[in-house]
Structure 1
């Protein structure tokens, strides 16, 4: 088979970012193989929120229409958050309003994966291939080692293997401190039928848009899904008095009692208490994140998505940053003048633009969580919160990704790489 480039690519991880990379590279005629530790039949049915910047990146990658077709939305729509006091009488505090085109899409993770897999030649993906380490061969190529004792040699590795990334360990070096932390934030999740909440007397309108009930050291997100017939509930509890801890023992998800969650939220008002009464079997997720990495590239191993900037979910921005990574990387790798001999220079340009951008969003996401968890009462905090929430998503959603690509190309021309 004839390929458009003289280098091969291996993608470590077949999640959202890994498969998006694979589609774009294969369409460009680049030899690519995806190695995924699990099988899709094992994928959890979590929801993925795609903000305006993510939508633009996916359109630029040419895969958005396939994803939209698998969602339960006929088209992307505005998903602007409202903020409400968790205490009675549930004063409305703020409505997010920003961006010229604030459209978004919510989709189940398995539906996203199914949509993208259909765009790939099945021979490109190898399942149940857990990468355990990466090293460099005598000829300068990179070798992936797998749990089944096999290996794979390639010119370029894209580390899309998530928050517990093996590729990241290679990039930062074996002796470097692990940047993965537990910032003392837990999320209690569950689904509740909308009609059950109406019958129980919830007065707050939950079906029009996502709502955030704000409180002190905790907040609750209510997100309508499945045509607003179900409300996706997530309660975040944080202990800001403790310093971040190192990674907790795995797994990070456990079933907990409803009583445990309700005890944490006993100071909340009428509507949140009814919602928690109907959250019968919550699961508790210990949310992990990364301290900001300064480099996403080492040799010819490059990180995308959570492998490089796993962040707290308080701006709903993690997936979007991953797709921004993929868009920039694909523009660089598929440029007509990119070849094996200049890959290091090309990847260096990715490393110029992506860490500053993604780390800014990572820090902003942590600040947003603290903001949502700082509400004592309308008398004390309503005006302050209105001021601080204003424009909170603007930098996330309105970012000019094409400018970064243009700047990268200009630098490569100036350095006579292109």
Structure 2
């Protein structure tokens, strides 16, 4: 349970997406009260599905939300596998199988749409502590007490807080309070666009595809492009994400026109034309897409020097939005939320040592998330033949197993907490128990 001096602190989370809600629930589990301020008129998410793997499952169970998330999830056919898997195939010609990779450490891996995931979390949070239509415009230390903050909103209102947690996504306003710069200085185009669509399985079968897209997740490899698919909603829909990467310029040098939208509609003809060098089955799959959206994929880059300044702290995409190629971004946000709650709620954390505790959160999470950020970028290179070994099966399998199984999936639930508490004890901030 938290100490008396932290129990009375006013905690504000800016952003009510998956990461913000998970953070609030984790703090509540530690006996701390928290308010969420969300820019939208209600809780809601857009975007693709979220993959739920071993590290994420452990956190969801610890927060008491796993069963509700699982009930909304969509996995591989349970009669065919007890763990999830991804089947790698070549994009060209007859889509020959490259590698069949099992994922999971004894748990069934599953996917869930972001909106469904959020809906599962909402039921575990006190709705009276949620405040909507509150778009954050600034986080400013009070002149009378610099360890306390005024959070201002676009509607002209404001709230004071002792701890401000930025879960406001890749265009985070709170990030500016941590970096002291325009938050968009760390908002970069990744040189990749992604076409996203949901297609009824019945339409895919009617198109005459030979591959059963309901049996697993698939990843079709190609030069500077790749296509991923996985079944959702009990196999009634196929989620499609088709990537195209421009590798002629280093990241950060490729720019979009000022004011260019992040998401634009795309026609079926445009989508199929991007993949004319792929085989017939994938082209048939893509021809089933009536309305795709083309996403300009952005990341946090250059990396932040810190996720923390004083008592302002970043979690999730606001701190480390990463390439999506390992499917690890949401899970890293949940790891952030879990560790942060465990540290703020630790009985040895006090109002006096809180800033030192948050610095340790930063050390632990920044190291891990930036390592995985690099891995996600590397995975995109592997899928698109840009690794030094091309499409070599053995090298690909070895490297991706390292990232998915060793780095991400096998991460201990309390591993970060043990590391952080150990460092706090070494530095005399916490007593050795």
Task: Output the TM-score relative to the length of structure 2.
Answer: 0.89
Out of 46, 61, 71, the position equivalent to 1:59 is 61
Q: Is the 8 A contact 1:3 1:29 kept in 2?
A: no
Out of 116, 119, 122, the position equivalent to 2:121 is 116
Q: Is the 8 A contact 2:30 2:345 kept in 1?
A: yes
In structure 1, what is the equivalent of residue 416 of structure 2? 404
In structure 2, what is the equivalent of residue 335 of structure 1? 346
Out of 353, 361, 371, the position equivalent to 1:360 is 371
Question: Is the partner of 1:362 in helix, strand or coil?
Answer: helix
Question: Is the partner of 1:335 in helix, strand or coil?
Answer: coil
Deviations 1:61-80 (A, max 9, x none): 23222322343569995222
Q: Which runs of 5+ in 1 are unaligned?
A: none
Alignment: residue pair count: 416
In structure 2, what is the equivalent of residue 254 of structure 1? 264
Out of 283, 292, 303, the position equivalent to 2:314 is 303
Q: Does 1:8 align with 2:13?
A: no
Task: State the distance in 1 between where 2:390 and 2:420 align.
Answer: 49
Task: State the distance in 1 between where 2:41 and 2:391 align.
Answer: 50
Q: Which runs of 5+ in 2 are unaligned?
A: none
Kindly state the Cα deviation for residue 347 of structure 1 after the two structures are TM-superposed.
0.4
Kindly state the Cα deviation for residue 46 of structure 1 after the two structures are TM-superposed.
3.6
19-28 vs 273-282, which moves further:
19-28
242-251 vs 227-236, which moves further:
242-251
In structure 2, what is the equivalent of residue 270 of structure 1? 280
71-80 vs 116-125, which moves further:
71-80
Q: Is the 8 A contact 2:83 2:103 kept in 1?
A: no
Task: State the distance in 2 between where 1:398 and 1:383 align.
Answer: 21
Kindly state the Cα deviation for residue 198 of structure 1 after the two structures are TM-superposed.
2.1
In structure 2, what is the equivalent of residue 49 of structure 1? 51
Q: Is the 8 A contact 1:222 1:232 kept in 2?
A: yes
Kindly state the Cα deviation for residue 324 of structure 1 after the two structures are TM-superposed.
0.6
Question: Is the partner of 1:96 in helix, strand or coil?
Answer: strand
Task: State the distance in 2 between where 1:392 and 1:72 align.
Answer: 23
Task: State the distance in 2 between where 1:407 and 1:45 align.
Answer: 33
Q: Does 1:159 align with 2:166?
A: yes
Kindly state the Cα deviation for residue 3 of structure 1 after the two structures are TM-superposed.
9.3
Kindly state the Cα deviation for residue 387 of structure 1 after the two structures are TM-superposed.
4.8
Cα gap change, 1:293/1:101 in structure 2, threshold over 3 Å: closer, same or farther?
A: farther
Task: State the distance in 1 between where 2:82 and 2:172 align.
Answer: 33
Q: Is the 8 A contact 1:262 1:273 kept in 2?
A: yes
Q: Does 1:228 align with 2:254?
A: no
Q: Is the 8 A contact 1:7 1:339 kept in 2?
A: no
Cα gap change, 1:380/1:136 in structure 2, threshold over 3 Å: closer, same or farther?
A: closer
Deviations 1:234-287 (A, max 9, x none): 100000112323576353111112221222111111101101111121110111
Out of 21, 24, 29, the position equivalent to 1:22 is 24
In structure 2, what is the equivalent of residue 36 of structure 1? 38
In structure 1, what is the equivalent of residue 188 of structure 2? 181
Kindly state the Cα deviation for residue 42 of structure 1 after the two structures are TM-superposed.
5.5
Kindly state the Cα deviation for residue 174 of structure 1 after the two structures are TM-superposed.
2.0
Out of 144, 151, 158, the position equivalent to 1:144 is 151
In structure 1, what is the equivalent of residue 83 of structure 2? 78
Kindly state the Cα deviation for residue 4 of structure 1 after the two structures are TM-superposed.
6.9
Question: Is the partner of 2:24 in helix, strand or coil?
Answer: helix
Q: CA RMSD in A?
A: 2.5
Kindly state the Cα deviation for residue 406 of structure 1 after the two structures are TM-superposed.
1.2
In structure 2, what is the equivalent of residue 417 of structure 1? 429
Q: Does 1:214 align with 2:221?
A: yes
Kindly state the Cα deviation for residue 370 of structure 1 after the two structures are TM-superposed.
1.0
Q: Is the 8 A contact 1:4 1:29 kept in 2?
A: no
Task: State the distance in 2 between where 1:46 and 1:369 align.
Answer: 17
Q: Is the 8 A contact 1:215 1:375 kept in 2?
A: no
